[in-house]
Structure 1
Amino acid sequence: MSAPNRPRLKSIPPTPTGPRPAQQRGPRPTVGAPKGVAEGVPIAVRPDPQAGDGRYAIAWLHICAPRGAVPTATSRCECGRDRSAVGLLKVLSLITEHKNHRDACPLRNPQEGRAAA
């Protein structure tokens, strides 16, 4: 009996030692340029599309009430009011205080206009 013929092993091609020329590719198909470039206006100079209407937040009420844990809340205002509460009854009380502060806050209701009228 003779041994079966073994298939020839693949050989790895030798690594080139010198530089070789880059392969040239054809031009890429262009689908379209950005609109700002077509009009000659840089895209980065465009106005912010999300510009506000002049309103901004003055007071924040943050409530954290995970299931099975003690609820907490924080009430902050730009006028300097900063309150916090821990526990269900105190959090409910802070929510009421926050609502009442919205009506009395000097930033939301300037007092100068009322005295002049």
Structure 2
Amino acid sequence: MTTPHTSSAKPAPAPASSSALKVVAEGVPSSVRPDPHADDGRRPVAWLHIVAPPSYGASPSVRSWCSCGRDIFAAGLVRALALIDDHVQHRTTCPLLNQRREAA
């Protein structure tokens, strides 16, 4: 009678000279911060944050921000969808965003 071979996955040890964490799975992106000295001039100007809970009956919410001072919040399906459309429209009419496009 033979005993079945049991194995457990163990993380590969990092080299002794490295204190960095090793990425476990190939093909899985690790979070890497951009080099702060490599500034290409791009900055986020307008944001749209959508929260859509997966459970039935839960209410979605949306928040729209822009560097021009816009900060709008909406809750509920109808209002959230309306704010998403309004955010898209704002991106085409915002004077701050248009100045950036003209400068580029």
Flag whether TM exceeds 0.5 (same fold): yes
Residue 77 of structure 1: how far off its partner (Å) = 0.5
TM-score (norm 1): 0.51
Unaligned runs of 5+ in 2: 1-16, 18-34
Counterpart check, 1:104 vs 2:93: yes
Q: Output the CA distance in 2 between the equivalents of 1:97 and 1:51.
A: 34
Residue 50 of structure 1: how far off its partner (Å) = 6.6
Would you identify which runs of 4 or more consecutive aligned residues in structure 1 move more than 2 Å? none
Sequence identity (%) = 52
TM-score (norm 2): 0.56
Residue 51 of structure 1: how far off its partner (Å) = 1.8
How many positions carry a matched residue from both structures?
Answer: 66
Amino acid across the alignment from 2:67: E
RMSD over aligned Cα atoms: 2.2
The answer to which structure, 1 or 2, has the higher relative contact order (CA under 8 A, 6+ apart) is 2
Counterpart check, 1:78 vs 2:67: yes
Query: Matched residue of 1:102: which SS?
Result: helix
Unaligned runs of 5+ in 1: 1-31, 33-47
Q: Output the CA distance in 1 between the equivalents of 2:61 and 2:95.
A: 26
